Amino acid sequence: MLTYYVMKLVSKIFCLLPRSVGMAFGSLLGRVAPLFVEEWRMKMAAANVQECLGVSPEEARKIARQSVVKFGRMIVEVLRFPLLNRDTIHSVVKTDGLEYLEEAYAKGKGALMCTGHFGNWELLGATVALHGYPMLSIARKQNNGAMDRFINEYREIVGQKVAYNQGKEGILAMGRYLKEKHLLGILYDQDTNDTGVKTVLFGKEVITPAGPAVFSRTFGCPILPIFMHYDEDGSCRAKIYPPLYAEKTKDKDRDLSRVTEKMMAILEQEIRENPPMWFWVHDRWKDGKKRFRPKK
């Protein structure tokens, strides 16, 4: 557990330092971050950027690198979570479309806050929770137990509850939270198995988690796409979209596909508008290892 206590100490230091100093360190950390990413992943990311956005090879490599560099800032922002509360969050993150969340939540059916690995998704969950909404964030269990403990503790510091995205207990927690008219925070841009919904992203077939569509169809709750951006002046901005709903007809597969396709269209729009914010080094189309990983 040494790692856990080291992270707590580092966090305390960054909470004492001025924000400008922390962000400067985050920028430095980000510039060296690509050195710790496997070379084949960087090549894959650049190739996917070029294929998806139609940019030059040079621009594609730049975007791929920027998508990794931003993690330096993200880490520092999470380390400073103990400074966040309902009074300070408004000065850290501006929120567009908050009225959509207010209206959806007022209907008393809970809501699904759906985002991608885009911008600082951890800060996004904190923003929603600190606006006073009961929030259960669905997370992947970290391989490192100490880091898993640390990040979950910091999620709880800012008012979130956490459930893992696998296992019976996680599913039960999600359903129970929606029945209690609360919010679920779900990352929907990466497939975790082959039982999701087949859709397309940038014209290429992908499998997308069916969870948001299934929950919306089952409980009648709204799906609110939400994304975090960094503005040109360095500030953070959360963008909430109008609610989507899954239909409930006799054709379940079509109901799930239709709303999932709408969600993917929004994700693609967000990526096109701000490409470096997305996590390009993830093997989203499941062909990166075959194409770029050196054979042993």
The answer to whether the beta carbons of residues 285 and 206 sit under 8 Å apart is yes
Give yes or no for residue 194 having a pLDDT over 90: no
Of the candidates 202, 2, 244, 14, the residue with the CA atom closest to the CA atom of residue 113:
244
Residue with tokens 């239709």: 258
How remote is the C-alpha of 242 from its chain's centroid? 18
Q: What per-residue confidence (pLDDT) applies to 295?
A: 79
* Among the ranges given (175-184, 216-225, 241-250, 279-288), the one the predictor scored with the smallest mean pLDDT: 175-184
Residue given tokens 């898993």 in the structure block = 148
Confidence band (pLDDT; 50, 70, 90) for 234?
confident
Summarize pLDDT for 13-34 with one digit per residue, the tens: 999 999 999 999 999 999 999 9
Higher local confidence (pLDDT), 191 or 32: 32
Report the C-alpha gap between 226 and 245 in whole angstroms.
15
Question: What per-residue confidence (pLDDT) applies to 147?
Answer: 93
Judged on CB neighbours under 10 Å (0-12, 13-18, 19+), 23 is middle
CA gap 280, 41 in Å, rounded: 9
Dist. CA 126–CA 189, nearest whole Å: 19
List the alpha helices (DSSP H) in the chain: 2-16, 19-32, 39-53, 57-79, 89-92, 98-106, 121-130, 145-157, 168-179, 211-219, 252-273, 288-292
- CA 16/CA 215 separation, integer angstroms: 42
**256 Cβ neighbours under 8 A, 6+ residues apart:** 197, 210, 213, 214, 217, 246
Question: Smallest Cα–Cα separation from 49: which of 294, 236, 274?
Answer: 274
Tell which phi-psi region holds residue 110, choosing left (phi > 0), alpha (psi between -120 and 50) or beta: left
What integer pLDDT is reported at residue 190 of this predicted model?
Answer: 87
Kindly report, residue by residue over 54-112, the tens digit of the pLDDT: 999 999 999 999 999 999 999 999 999 999 999 999 999 999 999 999 999 999 999 99
**Token pair listed for 61:** 């490599």
247 pLDDT more than 80: yes
Q: What is the mean predicted confidence (pLDDT) over 122-129?
A: 96
Over residues 106-125, the mean pLDDT reads 95
- pLDDT tier for residue 9 given thresholds of 50, 70 and 90: very high
> Average pLDDT, whole number, for the chain?
93
The type of residue at 195 is T
Q: Is the pLDDT of residue 280 over 70?
A: yes
Residue spans of the domains in the chain: they are 2-291
Q: In the prediction, which pLDDT does 170 show?
A: 65
Residue 269, pLDDT score: 98
Write the CA distances from 248 to 136, 216, 224, integer angstroms. 25, 9, 18
Question: Mutual orientation of helices 19-32 and 57-79 as an angle, nearest 10°?
Answer: 140
Mean pLDDT of 242-269: 97
Would you state the pLDDT for residue 30?
Answer: 96
The per-residue pLDDT for 287 is 92
